[in-house]
Amino acid sequence: MEKEVITESEEETHQLAKSIAEELQPGDVLCLNGPLGAGKTQFVKGLASYFGIDPATVQSPTFTLIHEYEGRLPIYHFDCYRMEKPEEALEIGAEEYFYREGVSVIEWPEKIMPFIPEHSRWINIESLGPQKRKFIFGNDNK
């Protein structure tokens, strides 16, 4: 069954992300799917702090497209929003990242659909109001 969680503040989203981080294993890939301002980057900040990374260093990687953070597990943070074609993911070496020892987290995964690995977990985020967000955790692909 799909799991759904509603958060009512940025801090609650950080807490939720930490509880998900506990289950993560090297090589996991998380697809964060949701519109602008949904809370994808806030979720990554929560993951980062669980792994001992300063959440202040976590920003949407707009121009570089990928940020790498060193923690107990490294996090590879992708933002594909500005990609015009999926092949741009290959140019930044996305496929190698997906099979490395860190955890890959992808904002705007739909932009690079052909390259999203089978073993990815999807988290869909909906906005229910200014402070309220619904996180829907898929069982498998989408």
Least separation in angstroms between CB 25 and ligand ATP: 24
Nearer to ligand ATP, 76 or 96 (CB): 76
Question: Where on the chain is the footprint of ligand ATP (CB under 6 A)?
Answer: 7-10, 12-13, 34, 36-42, 60, 81, 107, 131, 133
Least separation in angstroms between CB 111 and Mg ion: 13
Binding partner at 19 among Mg ion, ligand ATP, none, C-beta below 5 to 8 Å by kind? none
4-63 residues near Mg ion, rule: CB under 5 A: 40-41, 60
Binding partner at 38 among Mg ion, ligand ATP, none, C-beta below 5 to 8 Å by kind? ligand ATP
Least separation in angstroms between CB 8 and ligand ATP: 6
- x/- site string to Mg ion, residues 103 to 132, per CB under 5 A? ----x-------------------------
Distance (Å) of CA 68 to CA 43, 51, 58: 16, 13, 9
Per-residue burial over 78-116, b if 16 or more Cβ lie within 10 Å, else e, is: bbbeebeebebbeebebeebbeeebbbbbbbbebbeebb
Least separation in angstroms between CB 72 and Mg ion: 23
Per CB under 5 A, residues contacting Mg ion are: 40-41, 60, 107
